[in-house]
A and B are shown apart, each in its own frame.
Chain A
């Protein structure tokens, strides 16, 4: 089973670097998401691995075969790389029926006619599109076209599958449905999936590992839950998670017992790091996930943590997002039940758990995680 290795891959468009010295190791059977805002180089990266785009420099290995190397002048064309590619706009051939679209790749492989027929039938059944085999793409809905595109890509049993924002043209309900099916497909095909998306929720729910990118530079490469709870820097912390993480600027000072005294605009507190670390800056950013801000309904001034007022309240049934005002700072909290707080209600809040994060304000890098108590 192939393993994909990118070494020092750079792609220049004119003078701007779309991808900047990227190193990436993808294990076989992984479901990797390339995640980032638009223009961060994720699609370019995918197209370079597939061979549709030529890197400016670097080396790409798929399995035990070097498919690109700027040093050795190797550049194997896409049709010889043994990969599958699912395009964002599906790229179904308008002049071929659904059947012909799916069979085309198998014909190229010189499969026998009965083999092709049975394979196409199998895929039509797998993706539940049997009734449409004689139709042309323009006669299908978006979701059906999407399934045909997946069937066409899966037909030759590729061991590596590239997917370029395949769900972005679907409506919300279909997207959820297809997400489930993609995850099942990954398990049943046992292929390596490399998936491009700008939707952090897709990345979180689908992948075994997320590669977060910004401006052509990799920010973090880790399993989704790790990216969520231990983001490498402020960008990663902000990009992943909805509603977004709370960031509070503070001055930090070490104390003899290993804890850190924090002084923010609207409160001060003491931070107990999970592990030993060296603090060599005084300007830090405290990062708190919304679910780690607890709200106490019974209000007694000064009793539980911080005093806050409800700024706005957005119950969605299963959960409630509450915007809270502490001094001049607005914080977001999520509680997992439906409550309808009246606006301007006074509440007490406290910071829960030991996944509160400290970032170096200047470099943006994560320093440590721990627990935070107000004082």
Chain B
């Protein structure tokens, strides 16, 4: 009886109900799929695996592990370097780690410097810089890769089909290492995630009490010593966790290595896994597991940084009185260089996509070679790229656009709403075991590499056939982007004092009414940021969906990938520009209407 009472009391609190429901849901949506994935690695799949092992599909076997991890000498001429394991696993693993290291270092360096300039100095054009700097993050990740290859490709390197702008206009042939492989992949990923680092580090610096630096300055600390002994150590834990997040993101990048690596047979884990999925599924699933293990390790390292003796919560004092570092004579040059870099990074790609989408014959940028047919043409057979209509009149493209929007909006609504609820539950029951567990579970999908996550759901859809089509896409999108939404939900709830809700409880306002009439309206802009991020991410996401789409025409991004692979450049560039414009317009509209913004979502 006593126990029964306890249960009733427990579930009479909405926060507990929410936590229990999400605990069960998240276990089903993240932990169960993980188990499925692991079991798939021990299973013989139809096709080549079945032929190679001589066993029926579905039988348990260590074949995939042996083949992928332990075949270091299969009699090739170059020893281990020509072995299956080296080519299929160890070399891509090495490449993945080196690319992720360099690119996350670049992202932190670039994003961090810009964040410092914007928050701590009197640099000019701050508004413009912070508005434009997030562009590369809003764009699909491979747009920069496309731009890179559009710009630098030439007939001497890689597949060498045509000359890019650099070769055609300036006559400069860049060497292969610069156009394809390790260097450009790291550069492009670094640049793509720099805004992400900028948003996170900017948030940290904004929240750091300037008095801490001023106190050192008063005690006669030289400028460099303030940075090295005060500023850096205080922001270091946050910087490290930023580094880990960026590392996790770059590790799972798929599209960029496809564009800049595959032409010269430079493989990373994600691209290798993708190619194995069509031949040796079991080995593909092993790679997915390895990527997930990396994610979990990163989460564990990140956790060990927080909750130490030195508490790094810094009380914000009179931050309005921050005295900004005067850049003096360096102000104009630094601002100018930054502006130029931003134009190259954020605006020039858009111009190049626009240009590439209107020229008829590649490499000829004269006005007579231009046409808007790829945008607004109708029934023109000469377009000859799988479609006789310009993208704005093509039923195929419009249907994909509709699907992408449907997917983005559904995921935003589901993930955003769940984020609000999870945030409410976690903050209300802070300190309890359940709250901590849901907190970790809701963040976990962030660390699952998109492609691996897609692979899990693919594996699961074999067992649960109802997971298919748009439903599968919406489900996986909502789960994958829940971390963004739950982060902003938690942040928003932390800023709300308990009394605000209690004042309503006293006068007997029901729970749903408290949520919709009091809590949500007060923190509207923070919560809405939690809706915006999943939307933007879904619109530009490729690797998460690419394994699950019924056909490549389903979504704009998968369609774009297909067009790029087939070399239908004009349509590809046009669709790319279409995606960016749609995302920018919606981002801008939501920002103007509600004050929500992307940087609020992850920042803070």
B186-229 residues with Cβ-Cβ distance < 8 A to A are 209, 211-212, 214-222, 225, 229
Smallest Cβ-Cβ distance to A44: which chain B residue: B321
Mark the stretch among A48-56, A173-181, A204-212, A275-283 that contacts chain B: A48-56
B312 near A95: Cβ-Cβ < 8 Å = yes
Does A79 interact with chain B (Cβ within 8 Å)?
Answer: yes
Residues of A within 8 A of B211 (CB): 87, 89, 91
Within 8 Å CB of B310, what residues of A? 94-95, 136, 138
Residues on A with beta carbons closer than 8 Å to the beta carbon of B225:
108
Q: A344 CB to closest chain B CB, in angstroms? A: 38
> B317 contacts which of A52, A77, A91 (Cβ < 8 Å)?
A91
A54 surroundings in chain B (CB, below 8 A): 323
- Selected from A91, A104, A138, the residue in CB contact (under 8 A) with B214 is A91
Contacts of B234 in A (CB 8 A): 93-95
| CB of A197, distance to nearest CB on chain B (Å) | 15
B233 touches A108 (CB 8 A): no
Chain A interface: which size bin? Answer: 20 to 34
Known: A94-B234, A136-B310. A47 touches B321 (CB 8 A): yes
Determine if B311 and A93 form an interchain contact, defined as CB atoms under 8 angstroms apart: no
User: Are A104 and B318 in contact, with the CB atoms below 8 A?
Assistant: no
Q: B218 — which chain A residues lie within 8 A by C-beta?
A: 50, 52, 78-79, 83-85
Asked whether A87 and B317 contact (CB < 8 A) given A52-B214, A108-B221, the answer is yes
Instruction: Give the CA-CA distance A91 to B216 in the complex, in Å.
Output: 9
Q: Which of chain B's residues have a CB closer than 8 A to the CB of A50?
A: 218
- Whether B309 pairs with A136 at a CB distance below 8 angstroms is yes
> A89 and B311: CB pair below 8 A?
no
Q: Which of A43, A47, A138, A156 contacts B219 (CB 8 A)?
A: A156
- Is there a chain A Cβ closer than 8 Å to B440's Cβ? no
> A32-73 toward B: CB 8 Å interface, digit per residue (1/0)?
000000000001100100101110000000000000000000
Q: Check B314 for interface membership: any CB of A closer than 8 A.
A: yes
A354 located at the interface, meaning its Cβ lies under 8 Å from any Cβ of chain B in the complex:
no
Tell whether, in the assembled complex, residue A88 and residue B321 are in contact, meaning their CB atoms are under 8 Å apart. no
The answer, yes or no, to whether A255 is at the interface (CB within 8 Å) is no
Report the Cα distance A187→B525, complex, angstroms: 53
Residue A139 at the chain B interface, CB threshold 8 Å: yes
User: Are B215 and A87 within 8 A (Cβ)?
Assistant: yes
Cβ-based interface call for A15 (8 A): no
Interface residues of A in 123-164 (CB under 8 A from B): 136, 138-139, 152, 156
Nearest Cβ in chain A — how far from B209, in angstroms? 6
Give the distance in Å from the alpha carbon of A47 to the alpha carbon of B215 in the complex: 12
Chain A CB within 8 A of B230 CB: yes
Interface residue? B1 (CB, 8 A): no
- Tell whether, in the assembled complex, residue B215 and residue A136 are in contact, meaning their CB atoms are under 8 Å apart: no
Does A172 count as interface, using CB distance less than 8 angstroms? no
- Contact check, A138 vs B321: say whether CB atoms are below 8 A apart: no
CB distance from B309 to the nearest CB of A (A): 6
Q: Which of B290-313 contact A (CB under 8 A)?
A: 309-313
- Nearest-Cβ distance from residue A133 to partner chain B, whole angstroms: 15
Cβ of A294 < 8 Å from any Cβ of B?
Answer: no
CA distance A44 to B230 in the complex (A): 24
A97 to B312, CA, bound (A): 13
B506 at the interface (CB under 8 A from A): no
Instruction: Bits for A84-111, please: 1 = Cβ < 8 Å to B, else 0.
Output: 1101110101110000000011001100
B315 at interface (Cβ–Cβ under 8 A)? Answer: yes
Give the Cβ gap from A270 to chain B, nearest Cβ, in Å: 51
Contacts of B312 in A (CB 8 A): 94-95
Please name all residues of chain B whose beta carbon is closer than 8 Å to the beta carbon of A94 when the two chains form the complex: 234, 310-314
Contact A108 B214 (CB under 8 A): no
Asked if residues B323 and A52 are in contact (CB atoms below 8 Å), the reply is: yes
Q: Nearest CB to that of B226 among chain A residues?
A: A79
Interface string of B386-420 (1 = CB under 8 A from A): 00000000000000000000000000000000000
Q: Which residues from B are CB-within-8-Å of A88?
A: 317-318
Contact status of A79 and B309, CB under 8 A, knowing A91-B215, A93-B234, A95-B234? no
A54 to B323 Cα, complex, angstroms: 9
Tell which of B229, B233, B323 touches A53, judged by Cβ atoms closer than 8 Å.
B323
Q: Which of B214, B311, B314 is A87 in contact with, Cβ under 8 Å?
A: B214
Cα separation A139 to B310 with both chains bound (whole Å):
8
> Is A138's CB under 8 angstroms from B220's CB?
no
Question: What residues of B have a CB within 8 angstroms of the CB of A109 in the complex?
Answer: 220
How far does the Cβ of A257 sit from chain B's closest Cβ, in whole Å?
A: 56
Instruction: Assess whether B314 is in contact with A105, with CB atoms less than 8 Å apart.
Output: no
Who on chain A is nearest to B218 by CB? A85
Known: A52-B214, A93-B234. A108 touches B219 (CB 8 A): yes
Binding site for A on B (CB under 8 A): 209, 211-212, 214-222, 225, 229-230, 233-234, 309-315, 317-318, 321, 323
29 interchain pairs (CB within 8 A)?
A43-B318, A43-B321, A47-B321, A50-B218, A52-B321, A52-B323, A53-B321, A54-B323, A77-B217, A79-B220, A79-B221, A80-B220, A85-B214, A85-B215, A87-B215, A88-B317, A89-B317, A91-B209, A93-B212, A93-B215, A93-B216, A93-B230, A94-B234, A94-B314, A95-B310, A104-B219, A108-B219, A108-B221, A136-B310
Known: A44-B321, A104-B221. 4 other contacts (CB 8 A): A78-B214, A94-B311, A109-B220, A138-B309
Interface residues of A (CB under 8 A from B): 43-44, 47, 50, 52-54, 77-80, 83-85, 87-89, 91, 93-95, 104-105, 108-109, 136, 138-139, 152, 156
**The 9 residue pairs across chains A and B that have the minimum distance between CB atoms:** A105-B219, A138-B311, A91-B211, A89-B317, A91-B215, A85-B218, A79-B220, A95-B233, A108-B220
